[in-house]
Structure 1
């Protein structure tokens, strides 16, 4: 599930990663955000792509971020929305832990939830306002129209990030790679970590039935995990939360068309503090606390665990 990046002639974030996590291969969900390309000025000596798409339709402003406006299903305080239940392909990524075994068949659609936004270095990210109270300033900085879909996405991300954590959970919104690494390693209490993301052998693969391969389910270390979910924004933002009541898995699957997937999955063993109307309970037809709730990660999300 990982891509090894080397420090020679590498961007500063890769050099940082290799110095702090020398034994941890960088997953593709992270390495894909350390890129060069067209950029726009954000007024702090760096640049980012700006723009969003709604419901699969792209609206270009610069070289944009393709986002979905709406509540992220991995924020457990939120109730389900009609859009999530009927239109959101990520809903299909929820499943029950008992159903995760070799030979299991699941209809799934693996996607990137957003695309196009690169990481800022921490110094630059920390110099930019990141608060609902300064929304207008943020929109002005990125030349985003206040009544646009872009503005709605930015506003929702700020709201997600400002929601309090549920009981038994730590959370933050990491505005840089450095912030994500520090949150994950401090939550796990070690720098000896594994970082995994979902990779699909063929891009653009449609929703289809996948079969879990023989010996294709591997548990990640322990029940303490940190999971980071990509959020739509003008630059890379990750909603990260950590809990001691989760299990992580790496799962090998094969689709009907031969597409192979190395999927990262998280199972939550204690859901009693979640909103009873959360989308996972609706999809799985269960009640809070009745059974572990699991979900595969979209391709641009990351799960962290101890490596040993």
Structure 2
């Protein structure tokens, strides 16, 4: 495999990656988090196109030589939140109803960007969503969720986009697909996205009906940077908000067709293990 990791080494890899820099601490500015906490959904802001929205494309673009601007954030591992153990995370309330207590616990004043980040995360994680959608705050909980989603006897792999930036790499530049994107031949997938919080919290959601396809794509930037990218294509967007930023970026009519996006290097895709892939 080019950038998958065998299940026998999975736990060690997860620990190294998740503890070495993937998200943004709640002590950092909101603008650095790639999340617009003034809105319920950070991807709904059709009138304010931010640089980190440059990850979207369409299935017709899945060919060698396609070029598009892509944003790959730079992260400092020393500023990234770490996972707590399951016991530690379960000992701390995780609910918007406990917001005042949590702000006091984290020594974060009200009405600060950090407080808004925590409120944003708790509101989103408290929301009940049908299916395999949940926030996890420990590595054990994430692995349990993936195993439950795929089946108790299923082995699985972890994937993310891997960047090889040069010293002066711009975070937004044109990238070209060096090869025809290779699709993973699986029906199920689980994506996990970091949420702004003082310790590591991920919002994970499963796609189990084969309508979401996953690809690996080698990229080369205009600056010469290389990326082993993971991309996801969503076949069904009819239930997405009509103001979803992807429709604006792609100049599409709302809910009019499938869309794809590059997975940022601080996000993760879990796939059932398929022999030879």
Q: TM-score range by the shorter chain?
A: 0.7 to 0.9
- 5 Å-filtered alignment, 1:157-306, equals 157-165=121-129, 169-189=131-151, 190-202=153-165, 205-206=169-170, 207-215=172-180, 217-244=181-208, 245-306=211-272
Q: Contact 1:252–1:261 at 8 Å: present in 2 too?
A: yes
TM-superposed CA distance for 1:32, in Å, is: 3.4
Does residue 128 in structure 1 map to residue 128 in structure 2? no
Higher strand proportion, which one? 1
Aligned residue among 98, 105, 115 for 2:67: 105
User: Does structure 1 conserve the Cα–Cα contact (< 8 Å) formed by 2:136 and 2:201?
Assistant: yes
> Which of 37, 44, 52 does residue 90 from structure 1 map onto?
52
Q: Work out the CA distance in 2 between the residues paired with 1:69 and 1:191.
A: 33
| Distance in 2 (alpha carbons) for counterparts of 1:223 and 1:287 | 28
Which residue of the partner structure matches residue 148 of structure 1? 112
**In 2 relative to 1, CA 100–26 (structure 1 residues): closer, same or farther, beyond 3 Å?**
farther
- Show CA shifts across 1:127-154 (max 9, x none): 1111000001111111011111100001
Q: 1:185 to 1:98 in 2, by over 3 A?
A: farther
How many pairs were matched up?
A: 263
- Contact 2:46 2:244 (8 Å CA) reproduced: no
Question: 1:70 offset after TM fit, Å?
Answer: 1.5
Q: Is the 8 A contact 1:112 1:298 kept in 2?
A: no
Structure number with greater CO (CA < 8 Å, separation at least 6) is 2
27, 32, 35: which one pairs with 1:51?
27
Distance 1:209 1:150 in 2: 32
Q: Secondary structure at the match of 2:230?
A: strand
Distance 1:191 1:205 in 2: 39
Q: Give distance in 2, aligned partners of 1:144 and 1:31.
A: 28
Q: Structure 1 218/155 Cα, relative in aligned 2: closer, same or farther at 3 Å?
A: same
Instruction: Let me know the Cα RMSD of the aligned residues.
Output: 2.9
Unaligned runs of 5+ in 1: 5-17, 37-48, 57-66
SS of structure 1 residue aligned to 2:87: helix
